[in-house]
Amino acid sequence: MSIVISGHGTFNEKYLATAGRKKIPTFPIPPGVTLICYAPPGAALDNPLAQKVEVEAVVDISMVELKQRDSSTVKPMPGDEYPFELTEGNEMIDFTVMPPDGLALLGSPVTVTVPTPLRVLVEQHKDEGTIHYACCGTGFSDSPSMRDLFPFRGWYARLKED
């Protein structure tokens, strides 16, 4: 079984869990869950790529690339594996999933009507086993401890152009 979470995704410190006065920017993937991400940390996700995920089409590294915003610069996805899979115990950035206003969705993805932390959605759907995160992974923080979470800020994942 699997589900797709779709909408706008961004890092918003307002929705992070806290421990005392400290904000917690990541959460551990629960047992039995595989979270599959289609944009590296900090990067946006182009809607045509998200739509492929929403209809559960196979998307692999040969089909995608990173494009720098406001530039013609294109480069391959980082690493050897795509999409990016996180399993039990891996830490995931706690993005905030926003309603899909203005997006053309396909299939029947899980969406939200109010800003919702990704950790909450993962917990709600952990019995599904595999969760596809078809949202942007954009973010920024002024906090020195969180700034390095977003190495691909200013880039977006997209399908390769022919």
Span 3-36, pLDDT tens digits:
999 999 999 999 999 999 899 999 999 999 999 9
Beta bridge partners of residue 64, listed in sequence order: 159
* Distance from C-alpha of 117 to C-alpha of 51, rounded to nearest angstrom: 21
Is the pLDDT assigned to residue 162 strictly greater than 70?
A: no
- Alpha carbons 6 and 132: distance in angstroms, whole number: 8
The residues pairing with 80 across neighbouring beta strands, listed in sequence order, are none
Beta-carbon contacts of residue 23 (< 8 Å; ≥ 6 apart): 13, 16, 17, 143, 146
Strands (E), 60-154: 64-68, 74-75, 84-86, 91-93, 96-98, 116-117, 130-134
**Mind listing the pLDDT tens digit for each residue in 32-68?**
999 999 999 999 999 999 999 999 999 999 999 999 9
Task: Output the six-digit token pair for 61.
Answer: 């590294």
As a whole number of angstroms, the distance between CA 22 and CA 17 comes to 9
Locate 136 and state its tokens: 């942007």
